Amino acid sequence: MKIRLDSARFEPFVWQETVAIRAAQPAFEDGVGFSPIELHGTLEPVSPNFRLTARLSYRQTVPCARCLAPVEGEVESGFELLIVRARSERQGRPERPRKAERNAADGGERQLTEEDFGVLEVVDGTLDTAPVVEEQVQLNLPAYPLCREDCAGLCPRCGKNWNAGPCDCPAPAADPRWGGLAELRSKLTGSRAGE
Ligand SMILES: [Zn+2]
Ligand SMILES: [Zn+2]
């Protein structure tokens, strides 16, 4: 949806929409899919900028990192962004909000300020929500999804799913990198035996 910033100039603009994400694009790997994304958003004036607050809810399917079986899950997430007009379109002195520096020395709680939000520049005074939603959905993807905690994965040789039982492949040969160590050990035990 495209929203004119002016519609939130004097009071918050609240809306609801459904965004369809096309998973068939380079940003997403094979086997990734999404239900339509339900978005509840509020755009409010934070002069001279705007604050976008939104909640997303949808279902996602991602391949198990070990066996590639589809892993389905419900996602509920929220985000906030500071919306600023493109530099060239701003009137008066351009004043881009600086990201607050985060460091451990901060300690304790700090008040949440505009500097804590991500910043999105928009052109033509219009916020297009589709790319924003798409980015959030990408950020929400699990780094290492598993169909179950103890997923046994696939045999690297024959590709059989070990969750369905062992395959007939021979046990992997001993790692040759340990060969030297074994030799050393036999030498050591050998020399000790000779004493
Ligand atoms: Zn799995
Ligand atoms: Zn196998």
Q: Is 58 exposed, middle or buried (0-12, 13-18, 19+ CB in 10 A)?
A: buried
- The alpha carbon of 10 and the centre of ligand 1 are apart by a number of angstroms equal to 51
Q: How far is CA 107 from CA 103, 110, 111, 115, 176, in A?
A: 8, 8, 12, 17, 50
- The alpha carbon of 154 and the centre of ligand 1 are apart by a number of angstroms equal to 8
pLDDT in tens, the chain (195 residues): 999 999 999 999 999 999 998 776 777 788 899 999 999 999 999 988 999 999 999 999 999 999 999 999 999 999 999 999 988 877 654 455 544 444 444 444 444 454 567 999 999 999 999 999 999 999 999 999 999 999 999 999 999 999 999 999 987 666 666 666 666 666 776 655 444
Closest of 55, 133, 47 to residue 82, by C-alpha: 47
- The alpha carbon of 166 and the centre of ligand 2 are apart by a number of angstroms equal to 7
- The alpha carbon of 72 and the centre of ligand 2 are apart by a number of angstroms equal to 27
Ordered by start, the domain boundaries in the chain are 2-139, 162-194
- The alpha carbon of 35 and the centre of ligand 2 are apart by a number of angstroms equal to 35
